[in-house]
Amino acid sequence: MAAITMTNIVKRYGDGFPAVNDVSLAVQDGEFMILVGPSGCGKSTLLRMIVGLEDITAGEMRIGDRLVNTVAPRQRNLSMVFQNYALYPHLTVFENIAFPLRLAKVPGDEVDRRVRQTAELLELTEHLDRKPANLSGGQRQRVAMGRAIVRDADAFLFDEPLSNLDAKLRGQMRTEISRLQRRLGVTTVYVTHDQTEAMTLGDRVAVLRKGELQQVGSPRELYEQPANLFVAGFIGSPSMNFLPATLEGADLRTPLGDLRLDDRRKVDAVGERSVVLVGVRPEHFEDASLVSEEKRARGAVLRARVDVTEWLGNELYAYVPYEAPPDLATRLRDLSQELDSDQLRTQAVVALDPSSRVHAGQDVELWVNTARLHLFDPSTGENLTRDEEEVAALAEQADAAREAQRAAQRTATQEVPPVEPD
Ligand SMILES: Nc1ncnc2c1ncn2[C@@H]1O[C@H](COP(=O)(O)OP(=O)(O)OP(=O)(O)O)[C@@H](O)[C@H]1O
Ligand SMILES: [Mg+2]
């Protein structure tokens, strides 16, 4: 096992385009790190540089203490599972898993022991004699994982390993990968553009945009204290809403009405800016008619016309269009395109209690939890209201939770035979 430390990593392909631009990222020993970002942001390129399948243009890549920039992939002792993993159709499950050990000329009885141990872990024991063609999609995926973990690798690297599975299987495999990683405690870097995978699998998530690292933190930190407009819009589904606003006194004037800021810090954060973008997550809106007087006083109430509603049983989404100044409307449209969002118009999405009777075409009162909103600079995208104390507290909580989880795992695995070969 080993830490992976990237310092000022740059990758330029032939045409000089920086696919990865000055990325510094330290993956701790045993940590599960997620790389996430829209298509083309450089996730696979970065992963391939870790494994050694791609030359590093500039910067330093270390595995443990060793500088590996020029070390051949074979000598890095890492294990990778690709998006389009290929199993050997003419080999049995056993031989597919054993493949890397055979390549490394590991003695036969040792191969047998390790393959059986791995198969046990992945619940493939009864399928060892089958050919891949006779397995389900999920079982094939597990064989591919088996091939990766059968080696005593220092780290696992996954490039969207679940993207070609259907939604249900993806969910199952997600939990399995999570359990497996925690049980083995092996340093893991996992690339995905799936929201749910990013939020649920990792200890920490690194968000990339156009080759540049935007923010690294626990899922909770990214969600509650995003560094900028991009991270705020990318993490969370449906996305955070961004309403243009001007500040007058302590009131943010938005196209949907005024939001009174009780927090002096937020008022001050606006500074001399004539316009800011107010970020409100869909769930921080409520149907004002269902909110108590006391709670109502702790937030602000906006009046708006609902365009479309979607009732999902456990939640009700209402879409509320608004007018934005043309330059900001363009900025918001560009952002939503970059985020691969289908939300092309300037409209707010609000998630209401399913018992709400709000319907399309209706003028409604929406309560906004103003304590949870963030303010962004429209030109730089910077989050003006990020709370550094809160960020530090969240990081501490995440570390403590991770430690506790690993300790519980260690206790639990003491009762079963050791998984690590030798
Ligand atoms: N061999 C190559 N030559 C030139 N440009 C490349 C090469 N491989 C990738 N790129 C470019 O580098 C950028 C990053 O590509 P990369 O494959 O790392 O993206 P990604 O984040 O993994 O995207 P996806 O989610 O679509 O897999 C893209 O703009 C891509 O077009
Ligand atoms: Mg990719």
H/E run at residue 350: strand 347-352
Which residue's CA is the closest to the ligand 1 atom numbered 25? 39
Q: For residue 409, what pLDDT is reported?
A: 73
Q: Please classify residue 311 by burial: count the beta carbons closer than 10 Å to its beta carbon, then call 0-12 exposed, 13-18 middle and 19+ buried.
A: middle
Residue 420 has phi, psi (to 5 degrees) of -65, 125
Return contacts of 219-223, CB within 8 angstroms, 24+ apart: 220/394, 220/397, 220/398, 221/391, 221/394, 221/395, 221/398, 223/199
> What average pLDDT does the chain have?
90
Q: How sure is the predictor about 9, in pLDDT bands with cuts at 50, 70 and 90?
A: very high
Indicate if ligand 1 lies below 6 Å from the C-beta of 45: yes
Q: 4-224 domain in CATH 3.40.50.300?
A: yes
What SS3 class is residue 217?
A: strand
Q: DSSP string of 120-158? A: HHTT-GGGTTS-GGGS-HHHHHHHHHHHHHSS--SEEEE
Number of the ligand closest to the Cα of 340: 1
Percent of the chain clearing pLDDT 90 (strictly above): 69
Distance CA 172, CA 193 (A): 18
Q: For residue 417, what pLDDT is reported?
A: 52
Taking the model in full, what pTM does it have?
A: 0.90
Lowest mean pLDDT among 77-81, 115-119, 234-238, 412-416: 412-416
Q: How sure is the predictor about 1, in pLDDT bands with cuts at 50, 70 and 90?
A: confident
Within 10 Å of residue 241's Cβ, how many Cβ atoms?
27
Q: How sure is the predictor about 410, in pLDDT bands with cuts at 50, 70 and 90?
A: confident
Q: For residue 415, what pLDDT is reported?
A: 54
Indicate if ligand 1 lies below 6 Å from the C-beta of 384: no
Structure-token pair, residue 90:
């003419």
DSSP class of residue 57? S
Structure-token pair, residue 130:
């089958």
Q: How sure is the predictor about 91, in pLDDT bands with cuts at 50, 70 and 90?
A: very high
Cα(41) to ligand 2 centroid in Å equals 8
Q: For residue 355, what pLDDT is reported?
A: 93
Distance CA 98, CA 116 (A): 10
Q: How sure is the predictor about 137, in pLDDT bands with cuts at 50, 70 and 90?
A: confident
Q: Structural domain boundaries of the chain? A: 4-224, 237-386
Atom of ligand 1 nearest to the CA of 13: 4
Distance CA 388, CA 159 (A): 32
Contact 299, 290 (CB under 8 A): no
Look at strands 187-192 and 155-159 and give their pairing: parallel
Per-residue model confidence as pLDDT tens digits over 267-325 = 999 999 999 999 999 999 999 999 999 999 999 999 999 999 999 999 999 999 998 88
Q: What is the mean pLDDT of residues 85-98?
A: 92
